[in-house]
Amino acid sequence: MSTYVLVHGSWHDGGAWAHVAEGLRQRGHQVHCPTMAGHGEGADRDVSHDDCVASIADYIGRHSLTDFVLVGHSFAGTVIARLAAEIPEKVRRLVFWNAFVPDDGTSLWDTVPVEYGEFFSVLAEQSGDNSVTLPFENWRDAFIGDADFDRAQETYRMLKPEPFGLFVEKLDMKAFYELTSVPRSYVLCHDDCALPPGDTQFGWLANARRLESAMAQRALSLPTTRYAAGVAT
């Protein structure tokens, strides 16, 4: 059996993986669902990307984890990529699940349509603490459109404000793109419309192709959204 470290995306904490973790544990696997710095109830939102990476690295160290599959969803793609470059000897495989894989020296906002950045900038300015809280309508329509209204409300209650700085920070991805010792895969749920479906510049497909250029050895495309596939992030 395998050990999995599941890293959540924006607006969530490790609890977002509860259903996935339960399914893996029922199959005999060991599963860890840490929460990144700046995320979760009552967290300090004034964090950097380095803080996020360090918080997962600290969790792995405290639990003496080795030879694990490191899975990242959405924003966490940036975190697991940089983390694997720091501790490649501990990672069996990287799995990017509808996850961001930006070019070296770029930010998350460089990989999404301009109107996304403009909208989130307004929300951050209105927040009082430079964070982004999604309106329910945006969550329901763009992030969980395949769920019924009750499920949309249930998952919306799980959300917490996201540090805006993490969206605009330029990332050092050079070590990741130079990394050759860790196998990597991309799971593409191509009906996920949080990004424009099928868009070869700003969609999840564009991120999958960037990973392909970084020696992806496996790719899985699913005719579903991430929610139908069981990911609550």
Q: What is the mean pLDDT of residues 90-109?
A: 94
pTM across the whole model: 0.89
pLDDT of residue 105: 97
Distance (Å, whole) CA 37 – CA 54: 8
Report whether CATH 3.40.50.2300 matches the domain 3-222.
no
Higher-pLDDT residue of 133, 203: 133
What's the pLDDT band for 16 if we cut at 50, 70, 90? Answer: very high
CA atoms within a 13 Å half-sphere pointing along the CA-CB vector of 17: 23
pLDDT of residue 229: 43
Q: For 76-137, list the strands marked E by DSSP.
A: 91-99, 131-132
Joined tokens for residue 23: 């399914």
Joined tokens for residue 164: 């805006």
pLDDT digits (tens, 9 = 90+) for 42-83: 999 999 999 999 999 999 999 999 999 999 999 999 999 999
Distance (Å, whole) CA 46 – CA 101: 23
pLDDT of residue 206: 62
What is the three-class DSSP state of 153?
helix
Least confident of 11-25, 76-90, 193-207: 193-207
